[in-house]
Every structure is written in C-alpha cells, then in structure tokens.
Amino acid sequence: MEKKTVQKTTVLCFTLKSSLKTMMTDTGTLPNELMEKAAELKLEITGPQIWVYDGSDGNPNTKFELTIAIPVSKPIGDPGKFRFAEFPEFNCMSEIHKGSWAQLGLTYQKLMPVLMQQGLSYTGISREVYKVCDFEKPENCITEIQIEVK
C-alpha cells in the first residue's frame, strides 16, 4: 500500500448512476463500446481503462455515480454518446489487487482501516485501474485500487 499523487489525465468517458448490486447489468457493453469509439476516432490510448466510483460506500444497494474512462493523449473528433473530460490530480492510497474482481471488496476492507489509522479522510471517490484483464482466468487479473484521501 502506498500514498501517491496521480497526475491529471485526459479521458474519453461515460458516466451513469449505478449500485454495486446492479453495476454489471447497468454497464452492459459500455466498456467495449468505449474502446470501439476510441479506435474509430483513432485516439492514442495512454493507459488502461479506469472506473471511478463517486459515493459508493460498500453497500450493494447504495446508488453512486460511476464513470468508465479510457486515458487518451488528446480529445479528437466527435465522441458521440461519450464525452472527453480531464480527471484532476488525485491524491490517494493505492493497493494492487491480484485476482478475481469478485474479491475486490476484500482489498477495500483491508485498505479502509489503514486510512483511519494514518489519520486520512476518505473523500468518497475511488478508482479502479484495470492493468491486466483476463476474462478466461480471473485469478490473473491485476487491478490498482486508488482511494482518494485528504
């Protein structure tokens, strides 16, 4: 676990309301459509897909704002139903989660007490950076969890 600052990032993204319980249904094919739009616009992708959770508290039924984003070098062309945005600089506690996304909650449960012990405040925003995605063997997935702190 490390405390770090993530630099501002230009992204192609889509934002929706969701909950942990309905997230997979709510997002549907959006992650793939986002990648297809980036390819169609011939955007230079500068990093792995990022999901931003604003207001998620771990309760499966709590509604929150979810932004699915792809870092790009610069906004070019008409994004259609998607939009270009700039994520601001982000101070966070970061932890690498290795394994299935179904187990991400365990890593969050490990991180939160450490924040409190260090006297840090959680802003209500977290990010998941999908560094390695293996849909055939989820145990091979590598996800960086970033919890914004102040």
pLDDT tens string 86-106: 999 999 999 999 999 889 988
Is 90 within 8 Å of 52 (Cβ atoms)? Answer: no
Full set of structural domains in the chain with CATH = 2-149 (3.20.80.10)
Measured distance CA(50)–CA(131) in Å, rounded? 9
Q: How far apart are CA 76 and CA 41, in angstroms?
A: 7
User: Mean pLDDT over residues 16-36, rounded?
Assistant: 96
Q: What is the pLDDT of residues 127-136, one digit of tens each?
A: 999 999 888 9
List, for residues 41-50, the tens digit of each pLDDT value.
999 999 999 9
Task: Tell me whether residue 61 is exposed, middle or buried, using C-beta atoms within 10 angstroms of its C-beta: 0 to 12, 13 to 18, 19 or more.
Answer: exposed
| Tens of pLDDT, residues 61-77 | 999 999 999 999 999 99
User: C-alpha dihedral over 10, 16, 19, 23, to 10 degrees?
Assistant: -80
Evaluate if residue 58 carries a pLDDT over 90. Answer: no
Q: How far apart are CA 145 and CA 34, in angstroms?
A: 21
Mean of pLDDT values over 118-128:
92
State mean pLDDT over 139-146.
Answer: 95
Edge-to-edge strand list for the sheet holding 2-6: 2-6, 90-98, 142-149, 122-132, 50-54, 64-71, 9-18, 83-87
Percent of the chain with pLDDT over 70: 100
